[in-house]
Chain A
Amino acid sequence: MKFIIAIGSKDYSGPTLELGMRVAKAFNAAVDIIYVGEKISAFSTSEVKLAQENLDNWELDRKGVDVLQWAYEYLVENKYIHSDSEDSGFNTDKLIQTDDDRCEVQLEGCMTQEVGLILRNGDIIQQLRDEVKRSAIDVMIIGGSGERRMAHDLVQYVDSSIFVVNQFDPNQKYRLLLAADDSIGTKGAVKFGVRVAQAFKINVDILTVSKVDQFRDGYKGAAERAGKFMRRTGIQYQNIYRVGDPSEIIKKEAGDNHIVIMGASSKNPLMKFFKGSKPLKVMEDCPCPILIVK
């Protein structure tokens, strides 16, 4: 599997990087950590490039390198990557220009597969979408503190699963809330849920919500199958059945001490665009991390 963690700054991306790397470790996945700098006006691209090349002559790092450096130090400190005694740390020289707007460095991972550090510039949605396609990414991990619209657009337009690290507190004891119904996405969500629960050694609440009093067979079946899966893998779980508006109930049950995992909506993209979807609504309102599995 391959994960990508999008970081924006040293001040706010700590929880995203921490949770992202822990999940990547659970899956023994390859990880890319990406920083996307702001889009440069087309009128100024060459001029900004010229100025940045001049900064290199002065041995001054361009914007974004400091954030990657911070991520590099985090990886070394937490032993995610090898660091030999001759290693001089991270600097611009290590970055290899692969495209006009993209440079990267690949590092050997200790607890995961290889780890890449990537610097890109441009429209963030476009850049992340390109990166997902280019590297066949399975899961994208982003912070929740950015614009809501960004997470919304990523869920809509990016092919990978999306993990939004909303208000993650490393000291909080989390449970996992797995939303199960008869949709196609539930199967994938259960698989992810098991791996995450195993890695974090946490208990699982399997939540099934029906809009009407009578639970459909498909709903019950999905919840039971999810439970069976958990039992087989030795994970403590409980089934919860609720009646009401699914997004509201999920939000209420999740509180601020759950990591929510749910399948992506199987609705037509046009319907999702105009009317939204359950995962989008939960993602917008829930004050806790949420993984939408595609």
Chain B
Amino acid sequence: MLGFSNQTIADLLYWVTRKRWLIAAFSISLFLFYIPSPAFLSPEAHRTLIIVVITLILIIGEVIPLPAVAILILILEVVFGIDTPNGVAKSFMSDAVFFIMGSLMMAVAIVSQGLDKRLALGIIKLTGNKTWRIVFGFVAISSILSSFIGEHTVAAMMLPVALTLIRNTSDDQKTVHRLSTILLFSIAYGCAMGSIGTPSGGGRNVIMIGYISEFGLGNISYLDWIKYAYPMLLLEIPIAVAILWMTFKPDQRILDSAVRKLKVKVTKTGAMTGNQIMAIGIFVLVFLGWVFLSPSLGLGIVALIGVFLYLSFGLIEWQDINRNTNWGVILLFGAAISLGIQMKETGAAEWVATQSINGMSMLVNDIGFMQWFISVFLTGILTNFLSNAATVAVLGPVVLDMGGNPIILGISTSIASSFAYLTIVASPTCMIIHSSGLVKSSDYLQAGWKLFVISIFLLFLISNLYWPFLS
């Protein structure tokens, strides 16, 4: 056919079937490009929204590498005449990107110190051998730790602890399925819930703080954020434990032998090494820097100081950081933030916000509630299919342009982006526990939907009854 061999046609067909999302993205964007701009939407804003559509399709479909999506965003911003090359470059790099970069690098440094064995010992000392207490301990420790050092760092450290307990209980996966599920979800959900506690818990918190400051809506310090978000985290811990226990009640109510074997294993590691003490010391310094110096230095620069110290004290090799840092994600978040800023600058965010409000006003009278609900619900759903930071980077400018109290809407959006309970791809922690091979994709929905609904309700109560006193 047309002089092509069967092999060439088969290869072409293969490419088309694998890249159907890419083809869909370009076809849709081409169509959108040639339709006239809707009323009150400038051509620049129109083109910015086309980039948003392409980005969302490409991220969800994962048909091309993430860095390629990032590069495409930057190219299109210039080619579509949305901003100058220098303007795009400036919007690409910000303190939020420094923070994401710094925190991903610090995660590698912290995990490589072998502190997880001490963590395991600490948890077991606190909880004893009753399964429900271990589950409570896993959720509480995962959430509190991840509120400071980032969720995937904690998940990477907690995973071997859980797997050791599971394998020491039984080698038969069927016998320990419910135990595996409850322990692994205690880590994943604990980490997700904890990531909202402080700005350093997740990159999207810093992205939102950056937007609020950049758009002249206010300044939120490290401690301010804690005042808003920490009560939600603390309330969610017992709720999550109860939901997990009711959903995946394990047959093994006491893990006596497994706990004993774990203790034997971790006590073999001996006393704390000098490097481990230094690693903890540096993190404490970084934490103090975030609390006291971030208003002047920025959260990102403080994180980079931490990385500098880890490297210069010889606690981690650059090769290890280079190998284990997801540079593609950093590039993508930089590009997504740049896109968010362009949405604001071109008026695209305001147009989307206005259209949403007009749409809502036809359905309900209480616009204030609907503004809040749409922001939170949409963010919660998107975060389960997209990355949470990408969700906030794209939705942030729209939410902040919706009217109402931008601080409440902004922080609610950021918190809702942690409701990553429903799918494997919702967050790196969900993916980490799935990589153990012990949880099925259907398990995520089983407990996840309950926690998702209750979290929205809890956030509604807190943002309406508690946050107004903070403003």
Interface string of B356-393 (1 = CB under 8 A from A): 00000000000000000000000000000001000000
The B400-416 residues at the A interface (CB cut-off 8 A) are: none
Known pairs A46-B104, A54-B116; A60 contacts B160 (CB<8 A): yes
B324 within 8 A of A: yes
Q: Which of A58, A63, A129, A159 makes the CB contact (< 8 A) with B436?
A: A63
Interface residues of A in 162-218 (CB under 8 A from B): none
Given contacts A58-B160, A60-B164, A156-B13, contact A48 B435 (CB under 8 A): yes
Flag whether A281 is at the interface (Cβ < 8 A). no
From known contacts A43-B329, A55-B159, infer whether A50 and B108 are also in contact, taking CB-CB under 8 Å. Answer: yes
Chain A 41-69: CB-based contact to B (< 8 A → 1; otherwise 0): 11111111111111101101011101000
- B62 interfacial by beta-carbon distance below 8 Å: yes
- Residue with the greatest number of chain A CB neighbours at <10 A, chosen from B14, B104, B427: B14
Distance, CA A51 to CA B167, complexed state (A) = 17
- Asked whether B18 is an interface residue with its Cβ less than 8 Å from the other chain, the reply is yes
State in angstroms the CA–CA spacing of A152 and B102 once bound together. Answer: 45
| 8 Å CB contact of A47 from B66, B432, B436 | B432
| Chain B 261-300 interface residues, beta-carbon cutoff 8 Å to A | 265
Residue A243 CB within 8 A of the other chain: no
Interface assignment of A146: CB less than 8 Å from any CB of chain B: no
B41 contacts chain A at the CB level, 8 A cutoff: no
Stretch at the interface among B32-40, B79-87, B137-145, B149-157: B149-157
B22 CB–A CB distance under 8 Å:
no
**With A40-B435, A47-B152 as contacts: A55 and B326 at CB distance below 8 Å:** no
Across-interface contacts of A52 in B (CB, < 8 A): 435
Is A157 positioned at the interface, with any CB of B under 8 Å from its CB?
yes
**B116 surroundings in chain A (CB, below 8 A):** 54, 58
Say whether A269 faces chain B, with CB atoms less than 8 Å apart: yes
Docked CA distance A54–B115 (Å):
11
Pairwise interchain contact A51-B156, C-beta atoms closer than 8 A: yes
Contact of B425 among A37, A41, A47, A62 (CB under 8 A): A41
The reply on B470 being an interface residue by CB < 8 A is: no
Q: Bound complex: CA of A270 vs CA of B160, how far in Å?
A: 48
B111 x A42 contact (CB < 8 A): no
A269 touching B10 by the CB < 8 A rule?
Answer: yes
Q: Does B328 contact A (CB under 8 A)?
A: yes
Contact present for B437 and A54 (CB under 8 Å): no
| Cβ B160 vs Cβ A55 within 8 A | yes
Contact with A along B1-39 (1 / 0, CB 8 A): 100001101100110011000000000000000000000
Asked if B72 is at the interface (CB within 8 A of a chain A CB), the reply is: no
A145 proximal to B (CB < 8 A): no
Would you call B111 and A50 a contact (CB within 8 A)? yes
Residue A77, interface by CB 8 Å: no
* A12: chain B residues within 8 A (beta carbon): none
A interface footprint on B321-342 (CB within 8 Å = 1, 0 otherwise): 0001110110000000000000
B43 CB–A CB distance under 8 Å: no
B163 part of interface (Cβ distance < 8 Å) = yes
> How many pairs of A and B residues are in contact by the CB < 8 Å rule?
111
Q: How far is the CA of A47 from the CA of B152 in the complex (A)?
A: 6
Q: Is the CB of A53 within 8 A of B435?
A: no
Distance between B468 CB and nearest chain A CB, rounded to angstroms: 35
Whether A38 pairs with B9 at a CB distance below 8 angstroms is no
**Interchain CB contact (< 8 A) of B167 among A49, A60, A129, A159:** A60
Chain A residues within an 8 Å CB radius of B104: 46
B231 at the interface (CB under 8 A from A): no
A229 contacts chain B at the CB level, 8 A cutoff: no
CA distance A62 to B435 in the complex (A): 8
Are B10 and A157 touching (Cβ within 8 A)?
Answer: yes
> CA separation between A60 and B13, bound complex, in Å?
41
Contact: A41 with B62, CB < 8 Å? yes
Nearest opposing residue in chain A for B431, CB measure: A44
Report how far A142 CA is from B100 CA in the complex, Å.
42
Question: How far apart are the CA atoms of A19 and B156 in the complex, in Å?
Answer: 39
Q: Which among A49, A63, A64 is the interface contact of B324 at CB below 8 angstroms?
A: A49
Q: In the assembly, what is the distance between CA of A46 and CA of B152, in Å?
A: 10
Q: Select B160's contact among A43, A54, A273, beta carbons within 8 Å.
A: A54
A126 within 8 A of B: yes
Q: Report chain B residues within 8 Å CB of A156.
A: 10, 13-14
Indicate whether A88 reaches chain B with its CB closer than 8 angstroms.
no
Which residue from chain A places its CB closest to the CB of B16 in the assembled complex?
A273
> With an 8 A cutoff between CB atoms, is A268 at the interface?
yes
Interface centre among A37, A153, A157 (most CB of B within 10 A): A157
Q: Is the CB–CB distance between A42 and B65 below 8 Å?
A: yes
Q: How far is the CA of A60 from the CA of B9 in the complex (A)?
A: 45
Q: Could you tell me the distance in whole angstroms from the C-beta of A35 to the nearest C-beta in chain B?
A: 11
From known contacts A40-B431, A58-B160, infer whether A46 and B326 are also in contact, taking CB-CB under 8 Å.
yes
Say which residue of A45, A58, A157 sits within 8 Å of B13 (CB atoms). A157
A40 and B437 CA atoms in complex are apart in Å by 12
Complex Cα distance, B435 from A37, in Å, reads: 8
Nearest-CB residue, chain B, relative to A65: B437
Say whether, besides A41-B62, A45-B326, A157-B10, A57 and B432 are in contact (CB < 8 Å): no
Q: From known contacts A42-B62, A42-B66, A43-B387, infer whether A270 and B9 are also in contact, taking CB-CB under 8 Å.
A: yes
The answer to whether A64 touches B62 (Cβ under 8 A) is no
| Interface residue B107 (Cβ < 8 Å from any Cβ of A) | yes
Besides A45-B326, A47-B431, A52-B435, 11 other A-B contacts (C-beta < 8 A):
A37-B437, A40-B435, A41-B428, A43-B326, A44-B432, A51-B432, A63-B435, A157-B10, A269-B6, A270-B13, A273-B13
Chosen A-B contacts, 7 in total, with CB atoms closer than 8 Å, are A41-B424, A44-B326, A47-B326, A47-B431, A54-B157, A58-B160, A157-B13
A residues apposed to B, CB below 8 Å: 37-38, 40-55, 57-58, 60, 62-64, 66, 123, 126, 129, 153, 156-157, 159, 268-270, 273
What 3 A-B pairs come out closest when comparing CB atoms? A63-B437, A46-B326, A47-B428
